[in-house]
Amino acid sequence: MTTHDATRTAAIRSIMARSALAKVRMGFPLLCLILLVEAVTPSSGLGQDIEREPIQYSTARPKNAISDLQKKLRSGEAKLEFESEHGYLEALLRELKIPTSSQMLVFSKTSLQRDRINPKTPRAIYFNDDVMVGFCYRGEVIEISTPDDALGTAFYTLDQTRESRPVLTRQTESCLICHSSSSTRGLPGHLVRSLFTDREGNPLLSSGSYRTDHTSPLVERWGGWYVTGTSGQQQHMGNLLCEGSKGPDTLENSEGVNVTDLKDRFTTSVYPTPHSDIVALMVLEHQVGMLNRLARANLETRMALHYESEFNKALGQPADQQSPSARSRIRSACDDVVRYLLFEDEISLTDPIKGSSPFAEEFTGRGPHDTKGRSLHQLDLKTRLFRYPCSYLIHSRAFNKLPSEAKEAIYQQLWDILNDHPPEKSYRKPLVIAPEDRLAILEILRETKPDLPDYWKAGPGVSEGSKAEVKPSQ
């Protein structure tokens, strides 16, 4: 460790210790103070930092799609109607502009309301680019998660009881048991898992499980989920119920693949639609991974800038002066965003995918579209998930609300990759993108992202070649 780094760490420890000591005087145990002081360096896990400034996860005022809706409900601008079959579900989906075609059904007992979930009464999940909603038939609450401008990810419940003014209640403890663990790098985030499940819906954890996203082989996906739609010869774990107390030694799920109707498995009529669409499942898996990385970039950047400002103040330096370590921390989190954004290591499809609901058509129509009618929401479903290998979530609120320092780092790395500018050095493998795809992504983003830096708008086009590398953190 250099003298500068040692001085920096000592200053940060002193700053955070003073903050912790103030809390101890208000009743926090001494042990908490010791743990806080041991975890204050910028290299420590963010999960330990989010209850302190500048995040203050549990006490900060949220800013997200649900807090916006809550304001409208209080003012009378919006209203949620309660109906006997699904409670507030369909009214909530309408207010949040979430299509019922996005419905996916999970029968593994892996939720806050696990007692309500089994293969006869699966939990339904609905989503758009900004919000995910969980519904249990005859459940006590509707569960909601959403990206938050300042907190990364926020969780809510809505009681399924008729009220004149229903209240969306923010959750900061019970939801974090699963949604702020090693699976989400210790940060509040989303999680999609595939598990072997018995006929009661109990996950057979001793048989293993998979966290899934667009890099996962189909054969590892959707254990514990119903899946409607076709995947050709491609096997998956959807619709599979296991006998006994362990999963099969060899996966043979011919009866669970290419299922288009679930009526013989449970009463589908008690849900808004009879589908658990395979395309919606694939899009959700990508979305969860992208939103988690955006949340991490958001929090990492804000924490790095905060520590830097406090350090500079302690040494009498300009508050906005950034050290190489702060820039490196921000760039590292943003590098992860860029590589996932461009579908690094996405699996190749060997047969076409076709859903059972209108989801694919409705999703593709969301836009925004450029003057050639192209959109990052366009699906491929023949050899890969999307027509253009750049995530539609670059248009989402989660991306747009990133700190400017994070967006600047992401845009610079994207520009270098899409223009095939080789870095001076690289510690990660090349990211292969076809020249025609790089050109299309550049053109679509130029027309549909109004906050692009000027060098994007006036810069050159894509050079020849098919490989580009992400620059390493400096």
Tens digits of pLDDT across the chain (474 residues): 444 445 455 544 444 444 443 433 333 332 222 222 222 233 345 566 788 899 999 999 999 999 999 999 999 999 999 999 999 999 999 999 999 999 999 999 988 899 999 999 999 999 999 999 999 999 999 999 999 999 999 999 999 999 999 999 999 865 454 544 455 556 888 889 999 999 999 999 889 899 999 999 999 999 999 999 999 999 999 999 998 877 776 778 989 999 999 999 999 999 999 999 999 999 999 999 999 999 999 999 999 998 887 877 777 777 666 777 788 889 989 999 999 999 999 999 999 999 999 999 999 999 899 999 999 999 999 999 999 999 999 999 999 999 999 999 999 999 999 998 766 555 677 788 999 999 999 999 999 999 999 999 875 554 444 344 433 333
99/21 same-domain check: no
Domain span holding position 337: 302-468
124/21 same-domain check: no
Choose the final residue of a domain: 233, 249, 280: 280
Whether 291 maps to a domain, the answer reads: no
Whether 387 maps to a domain, the answer reads: yes
From the list 79, 255, 60, the residue with the least C-alpha distance to 165 is 79
The one-letter amino acid code at 396 reads S
Cα–Cα distance, 228 to 223 (Å, whole number): 13
384/306 same-domain check: yes
In the prediction, which pLDDT does 173 show? 63
Q: What is the CA radius of gyration of the chain?
A: 23
Q: What is the DSSP string of 208-275?
A: -EEE-STTS-GGGS-TTEE-BEE-TT----TT--B-TTS--SS---TTTSS----TTTS-GGGSSSS-
Pull the structure tokens for residue 26. Answer: 């208000």
Whether 436 maps to a domain, the answer reads: yes
Q: What is the DSSP string of 284-342?
A: HHHHHHHHHHHHHHHHHHHHHHHHHHHHHHHTT--TT---HHHHHHHHHHHHHHHHHHT
| C-beta of residue 384 within 8 angstroms of C-beta of residue 335 | no
Whether 51 maps to a domain, the answer reads: no
129/256 same-domain check: yes
Pull the structure tokens for residue 84. Answer: 């006997």
Choose the final residue of a domain: 280, 312, 342: 280
276/414 same-domain check: no
377/228 same-domain check: no
320/249 same-domain check: no
In the prediction, which pLDDT does 126 show? 98
332/460 same-domain check: yes
Cα–Cα distance, 239 to 334 (Å, whole number): 37
In the prediction, which pLDDT does 394 show? 98
| C-beta of residue 92 within 8 angstroms of C-beta of residue 59 | no
7/154 same-domain check: no
Cα–Cα distance, 94 to 118 (Å, whole number): 27
In the prediction, which pLDDT does 459 show? 57
Whether 97 maps to a domain, the answer reads: yes
351/431 same-domain check: yes
In the prediction, which pLDDT does 191 show? 86
14/135 same-domain check: no
Whether 55 maps to a domain, the answer reads: no
Cα–Cα distance, 276 to 106 (Å, whole number): 9
Work out how many domains the chain is built from and give that number: 3
In the prediction, which pLDDT does 186 show? 64
24/120 same-domain check: no
In the prediction, which pLDDT does 23 show? 39
The one-letter amino acid code at 45 reads G
The one-letter amino acid code at 401 reads K
From the list 382, 429, 402, 398, the residue with the least C-alpha distance to 189 is 398
Q: How many Å separate Cα 108 from the centre of its chain?
A: 21
From the list 159, 99, 163, the residue with the least C-alpha distance to 131 is 99
